[in-house]
Amino acid sequence: MAEKNEVVCPFLNSDPVYAFGAEFGMLFMRMVHGDEDSIREYFSTENQEQITLAANRLGWRIIKMKPWKKAPEHWTLYHLERIHAGNY
């Protein structure tokens, strides 16, 4: 039987895939609707493919991708910049 919180907060499940989806969803909204021109933050390495594809499609340039020294298999530092018209 499904728990009551699955529909409202699916990432409360113990499966880490839900947390990866929530992390990527929050970054996606920042890239689409945010007013920042630069994002420099650590994100899960599991989301690397989704982040690079979204950046390309949404007009962001990946300046830097660097694994975190303490846990390179889990976290990557991303430095993303929004591409403005004429800045190629």
Domain that holds residue 65: 10-82
Q: Is the pTM of this model over 0.95?
A: no
In a domain, residue 46? The reply is yes
Question: In the prediction, which pLDDT does 6 show?
Answer: 47
In a domain, 25, yes or no: yes
Q: What residue type is assigned to position 7 of the chain?
A: V
Instruction: Classify residue 63: in a domain, yes or no.
Output: yes
Number of domains the chain is built from: 1
User: Which pLDDT score, from 0 to 100, does residue 13 have?
Assistant: 60
As a whole-number percent, the residues of the chain with pLDDT over 70 amount to 77
Q: Is 22 a member of any domain? A: yes
User: What confidence tens digit (pLDDT) does each residue in 15-50 have?
Assistant: 677 778 889 999 999 999 999 999 999 999 999 999
DSSP result, 20-69: HHHHHHHHHHHHHH---SEEEEEEEGGGHHHHHHHHHHHTEEEEEEEE-T
CA distances, 88 to each of 3, 33, 68 (Å): 49, 21, 28
